[in-house]
Amino acid sequence: MAGAYDDRDGKIWMDGALVPWRDANVHLLTHGLHYASSVFEGERCYGGKIFESRRHSERLHYSARCLDFEIPYTVDEIEAAKVAVLAANGLTDGYVRAVAWRGAGEDMGVASKRNPVRLAIAAWEWGNYYGDAKMKGAKLDIAKWKRPSPETAPSHAKAAGLYMICTMAKHAAEAKGCSDAMMFDYRGYVAEATGANIFFVKDGEVHTPDPDCFLNGITRQTVIGMLKDRQIKVHERHIMPEELEGFEQCWLTGTAAEVTPVGKIGDYNFEVGTITRDIAEGYEKLVRS
């Protein structure tokens, strides 16, 4: 499948029914468009099976509650809808996007209690998120934007509004010839990339930022479990910027990113070492098992 995302063949599940791709539209005055009252999930399907599908559906509900709305479909109904949309589009390997939002209704101010909550699920073919960087190591910029305090935004929700600074940071990175950008948090600690968690290796042990103000990704949790199964010590902690110089390896994790090695962050270089390669290969086997 190729072309603009609003002009494709296929079906999208929307509010309980499969509709032609090009007809899956919303009104201009949809609340989510104006006030970011929207949450979503990104998921990958391997060999006909969505990896950690139910956890994603449960997190979608959690994120919606964080934004003070309830999705009018159960986790089981969302699971069935994903199966239906994959079948309707003939996909066994692909990317699945579920999105819930406050739609157009009687309210068009900040408050929107009277507006309906909508849900849609789309799926399409999608290769490596970082292209060939997945093999040779991604190059990252250092973003000027910082992840916000949990006191200022629902940082543990996968909410659309939280990605505004990620888009700007990634655009700035791409303008410099980078694949992505690493972000610090509001205190100045290393946080994550624009859409992926980050890991470092030093002296055979793994260090990863404590997700106390950003999303604790499902892929991140999976990889930590893999590391512990391999008896590799994992330190979840606050990481200072000056520590980057001492790390030997680095990789990113996320549903889209999967496990992607990092070769460079700003002026700091990293090798695509044994632990990185082992985790990347192990993750590929796990999701297809």
3-state secondary structure the chain: CCCCCCCCCCEEEECCEEEEHHHCCCCCCCHHHHHCCEEEEEEEEECCEECCHHHHHHHHHHHHHHCCCCCCCCHHHHHHHHHHHHHHCCCCCEEEEEEEEECCCCCCCCCCCCCCEEEEEEEECCCCCCCCHHHHCEEEEEEEEEECCCCCCCCCCCEHHHHHHHHHHHHHHHHCCCCEEEEEECCCCEEEECCCEEEEEECCEEEEECCCCCCCCHHHHHHHHHHHHCCCCEEEECCCHHHHHHCCEEEEEECCCEEEEEEEECCEECCCCHHHHHHHHHHHHHHCC
Answer yes or no: do 60 and 176 share one domain: no
**What average pLDDT does range 115-124 have in this prediction?**
98
- Overall number of domains in the chain: 2
Is residue 18 predicted with pLDDT exceeding 80?
A: yes
| Among the ranges given (69-73, 116-120, 135-139, 244-248), the one the predictor scored with the smallest mean pLDDT | 135-139
Residues 151 and 81 in one domain: no
- Cα(164)–Cα(167) distance, rounded to whole angstroms? 5
Task: Tell me: do 27 and 106 sit in the same domain.
Answer: yes
pLDDT, position 241: 98
Q: Is residue 233 part of a domain?
A: yes
What are the tens digits of pLDDT across the range 74-112?
999 999 999 999 999 999 999 999 999 999 999 999 999
Which of 72, 90, 124 marks a domain boundary? 124
The rounded percent of the chain whose pLDDT value lies above 90 is: 95
Question: Do 155 and 254 belong together in one domain?
Answer: yes
Residue 161 within any structural domain of the chain: yes
Answer yes or no: is pLDDT of 131 > 80.
no
Domain that holds residue 55: 11-124
Same domain as 199, residue 78: no
Is 80 exceeded by the pLDDT of residue 134?
no
Asked if pLDDT for residue 214 goes beyond 60, the answer is yes
Catalytic site positions: 158
Q: For residue 205, what are the contacts with CB-CB under 8 A and spacing of at least 6?
A: 232, 233, 234, 235
Domain CATH code at residue 222: 3.20.10.10
Q: The dihedral of CA 242, 137, 124, 255: what is its sign?
A: negative
Clarify whether residues 146 and 282 are in a common domain. yes
Pick the last residue of a domain from 124, 143, 161: 124
The answer to whether residue 3 sits within a structural domain is no
> What's the CATH number where 100 sits?
3.30.470.10
pLDDT at site 136: 79
Clarify whether residues 29 and 55 are in a common domain.
yes
On whether both 143 and 262 belong to a single domain, the answer is yes
Domain shared by 156 and 270, yes or no: yes
Residue 214: beta bridge partners? none
2 pLDDT higher than 80? no
Q: At residue 137, does pLDDT exceed 80?
A: yes
Mean predicted lDDT score pLDDT of the chain: 96
Tell whether 4 is covered by a domain. Answer: no
Q: Is the same domain home to 39 and 165? A: no
| Residue 177 resides in a domain | yes
pLDDT tier at 130 (50, 70, 90 boundaries)? confident
Residues 180 and 258 in one domain: yes
Residue 6 domain flag: no
Confidence of residue 1 (pLDDT cuts 50, 70, 90): low
Residues 197 and 174 in one domain: yes
Residue where a domain stops, chosen among 97, 124, 151: 124
